[in-house]
Amino acid sequence: MDIQLLSAVLFGIVLLLFLILRLKIQAFLALLIVCIAVGMMAGMPAKEILDTMKDGMGSTLGFVATVVGLGALFGGILEQSGGAQRLASFMLKKTGEKNAPWAMMITGFVVAIPVFFDVAFIILVPITYALSKRIGKSLLLYAIPLLAGLAITHAFIPPTPGPIAVADILGADLGWVIVYGFFAGLPAAIIAGPVFAKFLAKKIHVEPKVFEENKSYDEKTAPSAALIISIILIPIFLIVVNTLITSPLFSKYEIPSGVLYTIELVGHPFTALIIANLIAWYFLGVRRGMQKEYLLKVATKSFQAAGIIILLTGAGGAFKQILINTGAGEMIAEGLNNSFFNPLVFGFIVAALVRILQGSSTVAMITAAGITAPVLAQGMYSVQQVSLIVIAIASGATILSHVNDSGFWLVGQYLGLTEKQTFKSWTMMTTIIAVVGLLMSLLMWFIL
């Protein structure tokens, strides 16, 4: 094991936490400083350090910047139209105040099966703002259950990219992965979502961030809940169709090239959100009498919050790339090959180490699967057991999201949390998900 490399990574994480939490240096600057420090300690040439930072930021922002920008526009119009408040009122009537966190958990759990985590979060987070404002309780009471639902299905249940890749590498059956993903995911969603949120909301009160205070909200003149739900579902529906059609589930069917081209175009998150924005701009704005100049002002103001999110996410991507290029995750994980573990626990530990060191849950899952596959090849394991190992790896890849994960910054900035609050809420939530997911996997392993 390369002691110099391990020391560089550990030093980088400690330095980053010190700069942000102790010295209160702006996180964007702190991340860039640590990128350079880790690269130098790992022995990377100066040009390679800077090129890696550039590549990491560029590759991260290629997708995130576009989605965040479009999501900010969508959220701004939804907020100003009174649509979010109206939808919150509708949800409360259907679920009641006590059950609103459960409704958010279920929404996140279902929506994230076909939709990317960050896209679904950006589309749905305005609802948590409105619920918090309406009831007067901490934003975390509603946001954490939503995030728990989103995070669990993003990691546990195909056709999201992570579990599909792991299942393919390990030779698991997708059907069993989906079944066990639900069995392990539901208890994790309940404990990490509404249960944890109820406890957390008593400790940390967070006022909801809004794009602009809408003091003239009148439920009688606000757009109907049906219209709001329809507009929110449009990008989700388009992305769902694209995900299903291009997934292995439909590989047996012959789809005309023209149809496939159209679905891939309009079902991409970029295009789906553009379409949703145009529909929202017309039905929630122009058709309801809003002046185009006012809509332009709302749109411009919504980008102010998006700017810092984009910069922080990009810097997190740069840090992640530095850690990936050093090979730290694979170095430590391969060291475990010399030790004996239950393959399920082994997969969890490998994924957890890679996740903690380099941030990306998908990269952690794929890396852990590649290292665990040879271990499975040496034993006789049933299809069900291999599928449970997929869930254990997904659990490990969810654990302890912190400063090198772009999701940490995305969630913290969108919810208006300090770094310390993000650790206490988001990081703890992801850890609870991982632990419960592992325990449920082990329980089903021994039952089988």
Burial per residue of 380-415, b for 16 or more beta-carbon CB atoms within 10 angstroms, e otherwise: ebeebbbbbbbbbbbbbbbbbbbbbbbbbbbbbbbb
Averages of pLDDT over each 10 residues, the chain, 448 residues: 77 80 80 90 91 86 78 77 70 78 87 71 83 87 93 83 79 82 93 94 83 54 80 81 73 79 88 89 80 78 73 76 71 57 85 82 79 71 88 94 86 88 94 96 90
- Say if pTM beats, i.e. exceeds, 0.85: no
pLDDT of residue 88: 65
**Distance, CA of 95 to chain centre:** 25
Short-list 6, 55, 8, CA closest to 36? 8
Beta carbons within 10 angstroms of residue 2's beta carbon: 15
**Domain boundaries, given as residue ranges, for the chain:** 154-205+327-448
Short-list 265, 242, 262, 270, CA closest to 62? 270
User: CB-based burial of residue 245 (10 Å sphere; 0-12 exposed, 13-18 middle, 19+ buried)?
Assistant: middle
pLDDT of residue 213: 46
